[in-house]
Amino acid sequence: IAGITQAPTSQILAAGRRMTLRCTQDMRHNAMYWYRQDLGLGLRLIHYSNTAGTTGKGEVPDGYSVSRANTDDFPLTLASAVPSQTSVYFCASSDSTGGAREQFFGPGTRLTVL
């Protein structure tokens, strides 16, 4: 693994189903983030984690949950998917102890909820 990986690459999901998007990084970054990106809108933060064992809510957390059991993994769960959750989801990580807290992004998961 080099950088951040996300799985699956894309998914079509029936409304009401539960879905977990996976994210793994190998850079030993302390901070990790989940964003959604919709056409015409900027990236919107769903949840974040500043360090293993802690998580926080972003701008649009409703309908999503996360966990951070270790440094490398940061899964995002949709408990009961709805069509408005159709989007491209990006996971990112950063070394927040540095000066320029550049975020590195995974390749994204394209999710369609029908």
Q: To the nearest whole angstrom, how small is the minimum distance from the Cβ of residue 24 to another protein?
A: 15
Q: To the nearest whole angstrom, how small is the minimum distance from the Cβ of residue 30 to another protein?
A: 12
Phi–psi pair at 22, nearest 5 degrees: -100, 145
Q: To the nearest whole angstrom, how small is the minimum distance from the Cβ of residue 63 to another protein?
A: 20
- Closest to another protein by CB, 85 vs 109, is 109
Alpha-carbon dihedral sign for residues 12, 20, 107, 50: positive
| Residues contributing to the site for another protein (CB under 8 A) | 40-45, 48, 58, 90, 96, 99-108
